[in-house]
Chains A and B, each alone.
Chain A
Amino acid sequence: MARDDYRGHRAAGRPRSRRSAARRGRVSTLGWIGRTVTCGMSASVLMLSGFAWYAYHSLTNGLITSNALDAIKKGPGHLDNAVNLLLVGLDSRKDQNGNDLPKQFVQDQLHAGSSDIGYYNTNTLILMHIPADGGKVSAFSIPRDDYVETYNGDGTPQGMHKIKEAYGYAYTAAHDKLSAQGMNGADLEHRSREYGREATLATVQNLLGVPIDHFAEVNLLGFYDIAQVLEPVQVCLKHPVNDNYSGADFPAGLQNLNAKQALAFVRQRHGLTNGDLDRTHRQQAFLSSVVHKLKTEGIFSDLGKMQDLFNVVKKDMVIDNQWNVLDFASQATNLTGGNVGFNTLPITGFATENGESVNTVDPGYLKQVVQAAFSEGASQSSSGKKSSSEQKAAPGTVDVFNGSSVAGAASNELKDLASAGYTAGQAANANQPQSTTTIAYGVGAQQAAQQIAGRLNTSPATASSSVPAGHVHITLGTDFTAPTPGANSSTSNSGSSSSSGTSGSGSSDSRSSRSPTPTFAGDTVKMGGIPCVN
């Protein structure tokens, strides 16, 4: 009965039923399309993510990492999210496990003498500053023979040595100690090298007064292997060279180098006008050529080629354990964009110490130069400027407190800073005298504080919740000396290069005087092509 009623109802309403059936059909079709599209998108997202995850981990798994950065975390802090990266070239003729490289290979391919030569000298030290949000990347080569106070990773001083020797001194001390404890073989080598790395990082950080966030270490064999993957690498020389020591025998002009020639190119120092300083420019130029090649040949986007390169990197290069390749890739896009300037840190002259030729340097001036350049990078990245001949004062109200013994020092310094473009706040006496000049800043005044710290050559400015937002508090210490009247302020390094190789402009007594225009050792090498060098 019920079925008859139902049939009767359906028969009576057949036209409407057809319409609803048609609507149901359309809805069903749309539903089917929707489900198909969603399934397709879901599967695609899952597969693409899986592929990216696999590719990333197959690239990065197996990298040799070091914990050495942990030793220097008590050093100067960062004022922004910029990254400072130290590249270390180790002049060791041993593999990662401490075994001597084959003698024939060392002589024929590395052109590097016996395994006793070179020891654990860090013959290449390049500190790169990558600003937080783009902007110009600054890179500084530290001449290997700079005679400075070297440190162990725990902060204890080693004494005055060439900067390249910090690694070796710490390595040897650790090697002897661990060996006496019964450690041997590859484990002994690995642990001893960690002490060497810590010493190098601590020494550079102390010398330049800036934090080191990451580092990468490569030895002679590593360089050779990487160059072999990349060969031929095109470089450019201003003059022909023929040097028996390094094996460099090249005509002037553009030329393609194989791995052996590439090693000779970056190691030659004999027969060059400025010796070791010119050698730093060779290394800078080679880095520029490699990045140019990687970019123009599309190696960055070629997974196969990247894998070849990473396979070598995994074998021969040591990086810090906090290095995230993706983080670095997102921070370092400017490295490939040509917005990188290499300079060699200035020396004040030459001397003989313990029977060896060394470079004399002014550590105070080096700090000033590096901090100013890094500050300029931050300034450019925030303002979007590509270059500037003179650094503009960042927004900030400056309050100066006199904790020195010089009467009127606070108001004089405040006037001075106001004339430099900072907003003048108050000048008053500090609650109590203090020995060193300090700078603290409130929210939003970090950049101004950083600039002023570079300008006054103080230790890095620190954030403080007791300083009002937008303000910078400068407390003058007894180390403060009044600036030279009428001294011109500039913290730029743009176009300020010199071929003299030495700089006499900075002195350790120059604290609180205006930052001089930095004079670097040799010309600036700009990344983004194939620079011609001596």
Chain B
Amino acid sequence: MKLSTRTIVAIGIGAAVFLVLNRFVSIPSGIPNTTINTAYAFLAFMAVIFGPIAGALIGFIGHVLTDATAYGSVWWSWVIVSLFVGAAIGLSWKKINIENGVFGKKEIVTFNLYQIAANLIGWGLLAPVLDIIIYAEPSDKVFMQGLVAGLANLVTIAILGTAFLAIYARTRTKTGSLNKED
């Protein structure tokens, strides 16, 4: 596997933006411990543009550094979920092909199906299971926690992630947008 220079830089800068968004641009939703977090909308956005490997690594590096610089410690169970969510949403990359500048109904539905599946499996299943395996926390607690976090991220990505992608698509040149003059 050889990553292109652009993908490598996208991973690096993407992780830095993820960290800054995570630390500064999130607002409490009113439910304790749950924030409307733009970082995950951004992660979904980058995963669609740069693909699953970039998505996975932006999620992983971004989350590790966010945890490390904020708490001085890393919560590996949730870090792995960020990696998974980035990769899973990135799988829609070939189907959506945002670089063509088309992000209509069909693409919006595809994107949201992928992100909903990724969030439900990631936060609803993977996070709690890892919390139980690693930290032996009670299952009721971790499933509840995962579900709340997953739903919050799901809604954030559905609103903001879709919006970011729509804006991005408008900056791309559509194929066949030029007509030959008679």
Q: Decide whether A and B assemble into one complex.
A: no
Which residues of B line the A interface, CB within 8 A? none
